[in-house]
Amino acid sequence: MKQIILIFTVLITTATFAQDKNAKATIEVDGVCEMCKARIEKAAIRTKGVKSAVWNIDTHELQLIYDERKTDLKTIAQKLADVGHDTKEIKATDEAYDSVHPCCKYRDKDVVKDHEGEKKTENKN
């Protein structure tokens, strides 16, 4: 009887402390165009443990599926900042931000405004 209780306790403890193999999360990432989308998704997917990364240009949301045993959201956010994209948690350094293509300068209001005009033209077609 003691062995059964011990085995049962070990199983419950293991199940309680086990991390989710395939966690899902959404984080906000700044960007403005298709080049940003490619860069953001590439940086995220190259992070060890990330299985899926899809960034939406309009909402700035990065949908992630990742293995919590191998990475966490802070690590992913740092990888995005390293390639020049701000998240709510981590801001890209000026050096990293300056490395993005001039069309991708999401901190520049004129660039953002230009991309908004492109979206309106695309929606009409």
- The encoded tokens of residue 11 equal 């199983």
Between residues 99 and 117, the one the model is more confident about: 99
Residue 3: the pLDDT is 63
CA distance 53 to 5: 43
Residue 119: the pLDDT is 58
Give the pLDDT band of residue 114 (cuts 50, 70, 90): confident
Is the pLDDT at 48 greater than 70? The verdict is: yes
pLDDT tens digits for range 7-44? 655 555 455 455 568 999 999 999 999 999 999 999 99
DSSP reduced 3-state for 93: coil
- State CA 44 to chain mean position distance: 6
Residue 7: the pLDDT is 60
Give the pLDDT band of residue 52 (cuts 50, 70, 90): very high
DSSP reduced 3-state for 78: helix
Q: Which helix (H) or strand (E) holds 51?
A: strand 50-55
Query: Measured between alpha carbons, how far apart are the two ends of the chain, in Å?
Result: 72
Look-up of token digits 């660039």: 111
What's the rounded mean pLDDT across residues 74-99? 97
Q: Which fold has domain 21-124?
A: Alpha-Beta Plaits (3.30.70)
In the chain, domain spans = 21-124
Is the pLDDT at 69 greater than 70? The verdict is: yes
